[in-house]
Amino acid sequence: MVLLAQHLARHRLREPQLLEAIAHFLVVQEAQLSSKVVQKLVLPFGRLNYLPLEQQFMPCLERILAREAGVAPLATVNILMSLCQLRCLPFRALHFVFSPGFISHISGTPHALIVRRYLSLLDTAVELELPGYRGPRLPRRQQVPIFPQPLITDRARCKYSHKDIVAEGLRQLLGEEKYRQDLTVPPGYCTDFLLCVSSSGAVLPVRTQDPFLPYPPRSRSRGQAASQPTTRDPAQRVVLMLRERWHFCRDGRVLLGSRALRERHLGLMGYQLLPLPFEELESQRGLPQLKSYLRQKLQALGLRWGPEGG
């Protein structure tokens, strides 16, 4: 079953019958499974953005986390990362991994940095998506950037990416001073392309001091609903998101869990997202067509640039 789970995750195969079989196996074998095995069985669900129909799936994982959390810290956080992508974080487990004892325990381990990175992401999910959570949080001094650079899959497939031609299209269309590429915004999400836009829709020069929206969002209190991100800053931030073919499950219709999570969080932080799907990018024949495509996309948002746009 572990081999099957790894195969599905590695090849982005979102096969409901096989995933349901893994979920059922996990439930039936709960008492015999350690968290180090469970993390491998749960991996494809988060990666493939698939919440199983098996009704005991979440209760089973909560019991395993309660039983094993203190035994295998990295496995525990890996399981929570998969559940974070599915928007199914159990409060009890969050209380444990954010406790001073757990954080102190992982500090001296070889995988301390990766665990702190995952805990930072979990803390971001709590801030943005769990307004009802009242338990401990990750202390500021322990937080690190989540994804401070483009993901490994993007770096490995850079020669197949549309990023360079989109960057050239934006350069010719807007000018180099009116967008930023591969900018990491707090709390650590790397954006493909970021624009600053005035309240009237004019694309502004991106200055080093103003590309970021504040994090946590200024208007958000711990009790405010996570679905209402706002900011007093009059300039909007528009993020162009490349949706390459490998950002999806193999069927090309469902975004991988990590991608969906990033887009969800950027949206909740107040960034306006402009997805650029691979089907549309692949249909553009050369730079002139791509520039026309980008112009239509930006104008559809009401954006202006050039002498008339300011």
- Three-state DSSP class for 149? coil
pLDDT at residue 151, rounded to an integer? 56
Pairing verdict, β 272-277 and 236-243: parallel
CA distances for 34 relative to 57, 76, 79, 241, angstroms: 15, 10, 12, 38
Residues ≥6 apart with Cβ < 8 Å to 132: none
pLDDT at residue 107, rounded to an integer? 86
DSSP classification of residue 224: S
Integer-rounded Cα radius of gyration of the chain: 21
Burial class (CB in 10 A: 0-12, 13-18, 19+), 221: exposed
Crossing angle (nearest 10°) for helices 287-300 and 163-174: 70
* CATH class name, domain 162-208+232-301: alpha beta
Round to whole Å and give the CA distance between 24 and 17: 11
Residues ≥6 apart with Cβ < 8 Å to 52: 19, 20, 22, 23, 45
* φ, ψ of residue 279 in degrees (nearest 5): -60, -40
Round to whole Å and give the CA distance between 258 and 45: 11
| pLDDT tens for the 310 residues of the chain, in order | 999 999 999 999 999 999 999 999 999 999 999 999 999 999 999 999 999 999 999 999 999 999 988 888 999 999 999 999 999 999 999 999 999 999 998 888 888 889 999 999 999 999 999 999 999 999 999 998 887 665 555 555 666 799 999 999 999 999 999 999 999 999 999 999 999 999 899 999 987 556 888 888 865 544 444 444 444 456 899 999 999 999 999 988 999 999 999 999 999 999 999 999 999 999 999 999 999 999 999 999 999 987 544 4
Instruction: Enumerate the domain spans of the chain.
Output: 1-142, 162-208+232-301
Question: Which candidate, 7, 1, 33, 68, places its Cα nearest to that of 250?
Answer: 7
Q: How many CB atoms lie within 10 A of CB 152?
A: 8
How many Cα atoms are found within 13 Å in the side-chain-facing hemisphere of 216?
Answer: 19
Round to whole Å and give the CA distance between 273 and 295: 16
